[in-house]
Amino acid sequence: MEKREIDLTVSCYGKVKGVKYDVVILPWGATEPHNLHLPYLTDCILPHDIAVDAAALALQNSGVRCMVMPPVPFGAHNPGQRELPFCIHTRYSTQQAILEDIVASLYAQGMRKLIILSGHGGNNFKGMIRDLAFVYPDFLIIAADWFSIVPPKDYFEAVVDDHAGESETSVMMHYHPELVNLAEAGDGADGACRGNIRRLEPAAGVEADLVDLLLPGLAVPLPLEDCPDPELAAGDLQPGQPRARILTDFEHTRAEFRPPGRGAGQRLQAAQ
């Protein structure tokens, strides 16, 4: 498999022409400072790269063909963040307009399954998905935060680690070590970062373990069957069982998609 078959950022029309894709994955991030050491586009880079790896696993393990879209770089922020240089706050109404246009385009092209993989905690697509279900009742949309699939607390020591802390820094080091200079990191005292990464060492290796556990969980929900109204039935994630039991597969998890027997057009946001 060539990367251009699953990653639209490097693909071309010659690679996708005539190919039937089962699922579209849309990474959605934000443009904001991440401490003093991570890129502004951290929330775009990480869900995109995780999605590409998950798409490769889906094709390899279950023959499901996915296309990963370029990440959307616009997210919603709290008051106080927007004043930071180059932090771009986007209204939810703007995000909804972007999502509606993306869905309309994909629908016209025959696509019927979309996974939104968010890298930004301020993004919330539940209401948008419900609105779209009335317009496109046969279009399945699932939204998930990559950082919620496996609890970071099982891998890192930091008590507060929600932004540019140990977990995000570690996963960025896995994918793009050239973009991380720990010597530049702050202690989390200012508004650009609430996490403290001083305990993290570049050679810790935990980033690979975390990503390896994330990927099977992300790859699983792609073969969604043809059920018009699926419901995610996931077991609780127990300590000592870190595999992602939140977005399932037959080998790695115990969650499953099943018809709920409710009204047509209901759609799911699998964010927790």
- Measured between alpha carbons, how far is 110 from 20 in angstroms, rounded to an integer? 9
Q: Count how many Cα atoms sit within 13 Å of the Cα of residue 111 in the half-sphere of its side chain.
A: 23
- Measured between alpha carbons, how far is 70 from 119 in angstroms, rounded to an integer? 13
**Residue type present at position 129:** I
Q: Is pLDDT larger for residue 164 or for residue 233?
A: 164
pLDDT tens across 12-24, in order?
999 999 999 999 9
pLDDT tens across 39-91, in order?
999 999 999 999 999 999 889 888 899 999 999 999 999 888 888 999 999 99
Looking at beta carbons, which pairs linking 255-260 to residues 24 or more positions away fall under 8 Å?
A: 255/220, 257/221, 257/224, 257/225, 257/227, 257/230, 257/231, 257/232, 257/233, 258/227, 258/230, 258/231, 258/233, 259/227, 259/228, 259/229, 259/230, 259/231, 260/229, 260/230, 260/231
pLDDT band at 147 (very low <50, low <70, confident <90, very high): confident
Note if the pTM is more than 0.85: no
Which of 70, 76, 66 lies closest to 26, judged by CA?
Answer: 70
